Chain A
Amino acid sequence: MNTEPNKIRLEHLSFFYKDFQALNDINLEIRPQEIFGLMGPSKSGKSTLLTVLNRMCDLIPRVRVEGKVWLDNEDILAPDCDVVNLRRRVGLVLSKPMPLPRSIRENLVLAPRLAGRPHQELEELMEKSLQAAQIWEEVKDRLHDSALKLSGGQQQRLCLARTLAMEPEVVLLDEPTSGLDPISTAKIEQTLFELKKNYTIILVSNNTKQIARATDRVAFLLMSQIVEIGDTHRVFTVPKDKRTDDYISGRFG
């Protein structure tokens, strides 16, 4: 029985890199099947927050986490949490699209293969993921070409597709359109909109226009703290906090 209405809930989450506090007492709820936006100037803690959600932060030496993060009803910061399984449920698309230097196909089947999916499911899973990431039509005739031959926007969508091939429940995206042209950006935003039906999506961006266009709810982070949380439309039309107003109207950030 699942009484938890939220997909992810953060309670008093704080995060330290050595003596630098990157997150300060974050409380946040993320609902299933929404696109949740995290915006804020660089170094405000957005990316750090993502790395906590699938425990990629474990890879960084000398960090400390306090507080609780619940995924459904499971405490993912608990020492007995199965981290590998968590990362399969909460897929992270890194900010720099970096496919492995192999064929498009191999990039896609890597994750399901690691998860031990049977051989005959791989092809179908690959096609489904590439279609969901809106890149199937562009690559279907050259699946055996190197993934590095793709353009930046295509590589970004390929990385999204290979995350989707894990069939995660939550997809974390860290600046998925930084460095992309408007057409590729529009394609990715369109993709996210389609994906919302099946996944919970957290989108980190310091492009406020994108947050306004693409997300349902948004949190504004500043100096490791949450300044404001709310429906995107409301936050962008009547911000409660002066600092949010300043940020979205471009007075700093």
Chain B
Amino acid sequence: MDKGKFVERVLFLLALSSISSLVIITIFIFEEGLPLIMHTGLKDFIFSTHWAPTKGFFGIGAMIVSSLLVTLGAMVLGVPLGLACAIVLAEFCSERVRRLLKPTLELLAGIPSVVYGFLGVIWLVPLIRDHLGGPGLSLLAASVILGIMILPTVISISIDALTAVPDVYRDGSIALGATEWQTVRRVVLPAASSGIITAVILGMGRAIGETMAVIMVAGNAIKLPSSVLEPVRTLTSNIALELGYAAGRHREALFATGIVLFVIIMVLNLSATLIARRR
């Protein structure tokens, strides 16, 4: 066998192993988690809000709702901010400023999430406690922190989507008597919409999957929140907090929580891919 063939084989095996790890992870969490879902019933598992694993109650409804609310909050804060930032950088900045600022913003993604959580505990939580009331550790705190954490994802992908819009569209629009802002709003944004939707969905995936920062600022109480100032526990927090001492059915329930998360994130990523491909 010649050298080229050999290298090709090795690379193929390596590629296969990374894909097979995805398959193994999938099989593993489903194998560990599914028995409990069978046992409790899918409906009770997802919709019941009674989570008392030591007493045999496995309802993750409150945590699903909390996860979704935290994510929604993060989107409400992060998407307008990120999109505005992307529009300024892609459309109104000089090439030089963009080349400086875009990598800087992408550095945000490199900051470990525990640092975000730490800053949240030190600054944001007391701020909320003192000025808005409640314990400070809250749905709001988690949303704000996540809103900032998704910025690099939203900004970076949106900028790529905006810069991919051909310049002839912009020139055409300007030549038709549009102002720069009208051009952005009526021509560039619609043309970049699928990329921007992808950015939002990937940001959403990041928000819903984030664990450490959320544990540190969300308060982690298992109940349906009645206001944004109340503490919440998300799906990811629940797994991370309880896996250390869980055994038997309880452990299975945490894996089952993982299945729910897995499905949510798969759906998000898949729709992002489909929308991006629709162009």
Contact = CB atoms under 8 A, between A and B. Distances in A.
Contacts of A93: 175
Contacts of B94: 61
A162 B176 contact: yes
B187 A92 contact: no
B171 A100 contact: no
Interface in A180-208: none
Interface string A71-88: 000000000000011011
Q: What band does the interface of chain A fall in when counting residues whose beta carbon is under 8 Å from B? A: 20 to 34
A114 B171 contact: no
B4 interface: no
Contact of B175 (A85, A94, A99, A115): A94
Contacts, number: 61
Instruction: Determine chain B's interface SS by DSSP, over half rule.
Output: helix
Contact of A111 (B177, B190, B191): B177
B176 A87 contact: yes
B177 A100 contact: no
Interface residues of B, number: 20
B114 interface: no
Contacts of B178: 84, 110-111, 114
Nearest to B169: A100
A61 B178 CA distance: 19
Given A59-B171, A98-B168, A98-B172, A166 B187 contact: no
Contacts of A94: 168, 171-172, 175
A101 interface: yes
B9 interface: no
Contacts of B191: 100-101
Contacts of A98: 166, 168-169, 172
Given A61-B94, A101-B191, A159-B172, A114 B166 contact: no
B40 interface: no
A225 interface: no
Interface string A39-62: 000000000000000101001010
Interface of B: 94-95, 166, 168-179, 182, 186-187, 190-191
